[in-house]
Structure 1
Amino acid sequence: MKDTTDEDFIRQFDINVKGVFNALRESSTILVDNGSIINLSASINHIMLPTYGTYVATKAAVEQLNRVFSKEIGDRGINVNSVSPGTTNTELFTFEKPQEIIDRLASLSPFNRIEEPGDIAKIVLFLASDDAKWINVQNIGGNGGMS
């Protein structure tokens, strides 16, 4: 955080918090009753890595927005949850990252691999299903047990 500029701080909050806030507000008028809202948080919130202060603050804010919004919209049977991916094999994550670092991060999971986008998609699909209707205001750590 000590090297984060005001511009970086504002940009991260605009994308990660303001974007979710606007989507939640809009969903209150267009989402059908008994629907589901699933936002993304981050498993890194619990690891406390240097330089990630602003990012984890934005994801913590998303989780708090979920808690409050669920109280505002819950009488319509809409559940509000989030998923916290861990290290995910995406182009953004792997871009110019040495394989040694990727392997080290993979070793943080008992499965000894980083997750694939499909791993997260399955969790989101479940949370959007009727089988998950009683799951509400939860943050699911979709990270393969990363610690």
Structure 2
Amino acid sequence: MSLSGKVILITGASKGIGKATALRVAGEGASIVINYLSDESSAQVLVKEIGEDRALAVQADASNLDDLDRLVEAAVAKFGRIDVLIPNAGILPMRDLEHTTEQDFDTTYSLMVKGPYFLAQKAAPHIPQGGRIIFISTGVTVVSNINPAYLLYASAKGAVEQMARIMAKDLARKGILVNAVAPGPTTTGLFLNGKSEQMVKMVAGLSPFNRIGEPNEIANVIAFMCGNDSSWISGQIVRVNGAMA
């Protein structure tokens, strides 16, 4: 698979699945717009690793519409277009109904629903026919024995899945494919933060493979969704969870 000549914009790309994806698609020849919120050093290390001719780091709050305008403008100014948009930035609030505040709700939905929605709107005019929008969801939207503390997170990701499903029908008129990739538990800082070794082993035990996924395994699927071999996949939620659900 070659992504040579493709321009791929990834939010939250300085760490975790976003970083793994940036490195994976850059390895296939793509040029990358690396969005980050606060970790400039990690973003700049990625730029140097990929090469300044094929990588651009842009600081922007992925929940702020003015910042999203600036992000899209920076991408187009350097590379002329956006072939693939991957709204990846996210947080993992552990809030059940009783313990969710209005601020929790607004912060979560602004970053994980409003941000991707309007980033897609702003980027779409710059995405050529055959381009892609790849949202990032989660396996917890379909797990029946989910902990109630995932309520706020799962509800936001449920909205993301509906965006992918229906936006695919809307943007088909422009020849743009829209999908979502939904990872199961993955060894990112976002997932591991605050979890004991015992808790991680317990989660791993829920998989028939008795392990948790790695960021590069998710990145491999995202890279496939960026390429020509996925040209008849749109409006789908691609679950990458090692048969955990």
TM-score by shorter chain over 0.5: yes
Identity %: 36
Q: How does 1:96-107 map to 2 (within 5 A)?
A: 96-107=194-205
The match for 2:240 is 142
Match of 2:224 among 86, 103, 126: 126
Q: Is the 8 A contact 1:84 1:140 kept in 2?
A: yes
Secondary structure of 1:32's partner?
A: coil
> Runs (4+) of structure 1 moved beyond 4 Å?
none
How far off its partner does 1:28 sit? 1.5
Equivalent of 1:9 in 93, 100, 105 = 105
The answer on whether the counterparts of 2:182 and 2:240 sit within 8 Å (CA) in structure 1 is yes
1:1-147 correspondence runs (5 A): 1-47=97-143, 48-147=146-245
**Superposed CA offset, 1:83-133 (max 9, x none):** 111111012222242111111111111211101100100010111111111
CA RMSD of aligned residues (A): 1.2
Per the alignment, in what secondary structure is the counterpart of residue 3 of structure 1?
A: coil
Query: Which of the two has higher C-alpha Rg?
Result: 2
Shift of 1:79: 0.8
Contact 1:24 1:69 in 2 (8 A): no
SS at match of 2:149: coil
SS of 1:51 mapped into structure 2:
helix
* TM-score normalised to structure 2 length: 0.58
| CA distance, structure 1, for counterparts of residue 183 and residue 166 of structure 2 | 22
Q: Which residues of structure 1 form unaligned runs of 5+?
A: none
SS in 2 for 1:102: helix
What is the TM-score with the length of structure 1 in the denominator?
A: 0.94
Whether the 8 Å CA contact 1:41–1:82 is kept in 2: the answer is yes
Contact 1:88 1:116 in 2 (8 A): yes
Structure with more of its chain in helix, by fraction: 1
